[in-house]
Amino acid sequence: MPPVTSPSSSAAGAASLAARAGRALKGHVRVPGDKSISHRALILGALAVGETRIAGLLESEDVLNTAQAMRALGARVERDADGTWRVAGVGVAGFAEPAEPLDFGNSGTGCRLVMGAVAGCPISATFDGDASLRTRPMRRILDPLERMGASVIAAAEGGRLPLALAGAREPLPIVYRSPVASAQIKSAVLLAGLSAPGLTTVIEPEASRDHTELMLRQFGAEVLVSAEGAHGRRISLTGQPELAGTAVAVPADPSSAAFPLVAALIVPGSEVTLADVMINPLRTGLFATLREMGAEIEEIGRRDAAGEPMADLRVRASKLRGVEVPAARAPAMIDEYLVLAVAAAFAEGTTVMRGLHELRVKESDRLTATADMLRVNGVAVEISGDDLIVEGKGRVPGGGLVETRMDHRIAMSALVMGLAADRPVAVDDTAFIATSFPGFVPMMAALGADLA
């Protein structure tokens, strides 16, 4: 199924919605393209020489803001009638100074990755976003970028947006030991390192998603990766490569697939197939955890797209049991804890999710938000330090109104919960779903979900 854009899902106005239990979910769907890969294809296309053709780009608000930023920085970005996006790049370090502030809306990824790319160019640019993005920490990106020669001209308190950044005239290659396992930090440093002479190295304490490394290689850069300690990695990029435009086919987003997948597990009698889901092991922590909980998820026809593994996933309603999720798995499922907590509430027994400190700095404080979402629907839940503990009772009373907090994944997780709860679950604002998963509501309805 091609991505459907719902006219009702625009961040322009609040739209409440309720989900209630009904019939089993059945069908075969393809969720939209992967968000991480879509941002990166646009940014690397803009820094390459020649044309990049992107098939299956995620046409969500977050990604469209990145496309707009690439235009403002001098790249030509066009969409053909058949849905292919074409980017004519300016070459490494070739960005032009934008006339207006760059507006990234709700997207931390778009904003931070483009900050990295701008930091390696001799231009200044102002970065801004919505009220959620304006609260998010940027110091974690600015620290390494300043070491590479970029400087902050002006910023809101604590180095937050709106923020004006001056890129480095002569960027320095650095060795950066990141204190957090964050693909955004790693990617920002590597993108700035494209313009630096010599080797730029990032050392991460645990492996985070590696789409930037894989795609840099596809565009012709030299990237060396080795293990560092028990779970970490050392990534080195040779600077000043000539990136050559290429073809990118974007696989379906596993973080979006997570919603119909968990819905199919908890709604009795369901059987749903999700086509073309990217299954890069640094993104599939949720699937591994759900299987440990007893979920029936079958992988069909493993193949490759954009240098990434993908497969169709056939999911059947399953009896789930509580498990312990180790902290080391967090980077591979960092965006999936909300919907995992929903699955845990429908499981029998306690689920303990450890090491969730990074959830506090996402689109909302997702640790608190997850606990509140469950509590208001009658589920026993506790936050202990950085751990989340959910008492699964095999059923969820429901009946609650969940606050969206400008966070798309809260809205979708709460609606999934409502599809199997005793009473309906309502969310106050579905508009933010359009930042990552346009067409979520009609797609779920096509599978048989009762959303109104």
Catalytically active residues, by annotation: 335
358 lies in the site for ligand S3P, by CB under 6 A: yes
| Cα 100 to Cα 302: distance, rounded to the nearest angstrom | 44
**Under the criterion CB under 6 A, does residue 435 sit at the interface with ligand S3P?**
no
Instruction: By CB under 6 A, tell whether 36 contacts ligand S3P.
Output: yes
Beta pairing, strands 450-451 & 17-20 = antiparallel
DSSP state of 131: H
Q: Which residue has the tokens 């629907």?
A: 377
Closest to ligand S3P by CB, 9 or 182: 182
Choices 165-173, 182-190, 295-303, 348-356; region in contact with ligand S3P by CB under 6 A: 182-190
| Candidate residues 182, 195, 200, 430; the one interacting with ligand S3P per rule CB under 6 A | 182
Fill in the DSSP letter of residue 196.
Answer: S
Stretch that binds ligand S3P, among 55-63, 70-78, 125-133, 177-185 (CB under 6 A): 177-185
Provide the sign of the torsion angle of the four alpha carbons 73, 200, 255, 312, taken in this order. positive
- The binder of ligand S3P chosen from 9, 65, 132, 187 (CB under 6 A): 187
Q: In angstroms, what is the minimal distance from the CB of 407 to ligand S3P? A: 11
Report the residue from 43, 69, 90, 183 that binds ligand S3P according to the rule CB under 6 A.
183
Nearest distance from C-beta of residue 175 to ligand S3P, angstroms: 19
Smallest gap from Cβ 240 to ligand S3P, in A, equals 23
> Which CB sits closer to ligand S3P, 236 or 280?
280
- Binding segment for ligand S3P (CB under 6 A), chosen from 10-18, 178-186, 268-276, 340-348, is 178-186
Minimum CB separation of residue 184 from ligand S3P in Å reads 4
Check: CB of residue 254 under 8 Å from CB of residue 283.
Answer: yes
Give the residue from 25, 21, 23, 24 showing the smallest Cα distance to 418. 21
Burial state string for 416-448 with b = 16 or more CB within 10 A and e = fewer than 16: bbbbbbebbbbbbbbbbbbbbbbbbbbbbeebb
Is residue 335 within the footprint of ligand S3P (CB under 6 A)? yes
CB of 40 to ligand S3P, least distance (A): 7
Q: Specify the 3-state DSSP secondary structure of 274.
A: strand
- Binding to ligand S3P (CB under 6 A) within 204-233 occurs at 208-209
Is residue 378 classed exposed, middle or buried when 0-12, 13-18 and 19+ CB atoms within 10 A define those classes? middle
Stretch that binds ligand S3P, among 179-187, 214-222, 256-264, 311-319 (CB under 6 A): 179-187
Write out the two tokens for 158: 């604590």
Among 38, 66, 106, 109, binds ligand S3P (CB under 6 A): 109
Nearer Cβ to ligand S3P, position 20 or 409?
409
Question: What is the total count of residues that contact ligand S3P (CB under 6 A)?
Answer: 11
Judged by CB, which is closer to ligand S3P: 30, or 35? 35
What is the CA angle 351-354-355, rounded to 5? 160
3-state secondary structure of 207: coil
Q: Which residues of 76-101 are buried (b: 16+ CB within 10 A; e: fewer)?
A: ebeeeeeeebebbbbebbbbeebeeb
Show Cβ contacts of residue 222 under 8 Å, excluding neighbours closer than 6 positions: 237, 238, 241
Is 286 in contact with 251 (CB distance < 8 Å)?
no
Identity of the residue, 209 or 233, whose beta carbon is nearer to ligand S3P in the bound complex = 209
Nearer to ligand S3P, 37 or 347 (CB): 37
Chain residues binding ligand S3P by CB under 6 A are 36, 109, 182-184, 187, 208-209, 334-335, 358
